[in-house]
Amino acid sequence: MSSKIYTVWGGKHSGKTTFVVSLACALSKSDKLVGLISSNLTYGELQTFFGQSVPEEKGIFEALSEKSPNIGERFSEYTESKNLFFLSVPTSYTGMLSENVTLEETEQLINAASLVFDILIIDGAAEINNPVSGVGLWLSNAIFTLHRPSIAAQMWYRCVSDFMRELHITEKQKHILLAPNGEFDTKTYQDMMQLPFPYELPYIKSAGELENAGTPLYFASDRPCRRYGRVTEQIAGKICGGGKT
Judge whether residue 149 has pLDDT over 70: yes
Q: How confident is the model at residue 1 (pLDDT cuts 50, 70, 90)?
A: very low
- Between the alpha carbon of residue 234 and those of residues 123, 137, 238, the distances in Å are 19, 22, 6
Q: What is the reported pTM?
A: 0.92
Separation of CA 40 from chain center: 10
Judge whether residue 237 has pLDDT over 70: yes
CB 172, CB 141: distance < 8 Å:
yes
Query: What domains lie within the chain, and their CATH numbers?
Result: 4-35+104-241 (3.40.50.300)
Q: What is the DSSP pairing of strand 142-147 with strand 173-178? A: parallel
CB 27, CB 138: distance < 8 Å:
no
Burial 40-75 (b: 16+ CB within 10 A, else e): bbeebbbbbbbebebeeebbbbbbbebeeeebbebb
Angle at 72 between CA 68 and CA 35, to 5 degrees: 145
